[in-house]
Amino acid sequence: MSVLNKMMSIIGLDEEDELEEVVEEMEETVEETPVIPQNKARKTSKSNIVELSTAQNNSTKVIISRPKNFDEAMIICDELKDKRIVMINTTDLDPKVAQRLLDFVGGCCYSSNGELQEVERNVYILSPCNVEVSKELGRELNNKSIFKI
Measure CA of the first residue to CA of the last residue in the chain; give whole Å.
Answer: 103
Check residue 45 and give its pLDDT: 46
Judge whether 126 and 105 are in contact, CB under 8 Å: yes
**Along the 149 residues of the chain, how does pLDDT read in single tens digits?**
566 666 666 666 655 555 566 556 655 555 555 666 555 545 544 444 455 454 455 547 888 889 999 999 999 999 999 888 889 999 989 999 999 999 999 999 999 899 998 888 899 999 888 887 776 665 666 666 555 54
Check residue 102 and give its pLDDT: 94
Tally Cβ neighbours within 10 Å of residue 93: 21
Label residues 7-23 b or e (16+ Cβ within 10 Å = b): eeeeeeeeeeeeeeeee
Check residue 48 and give its pLDDT: 46
Check residue 76 and give its pLDDT: 92
- Domains defined for the chain, CATH in brackets: 1-28 (no CATH), 61-143 (3.30.110.150)
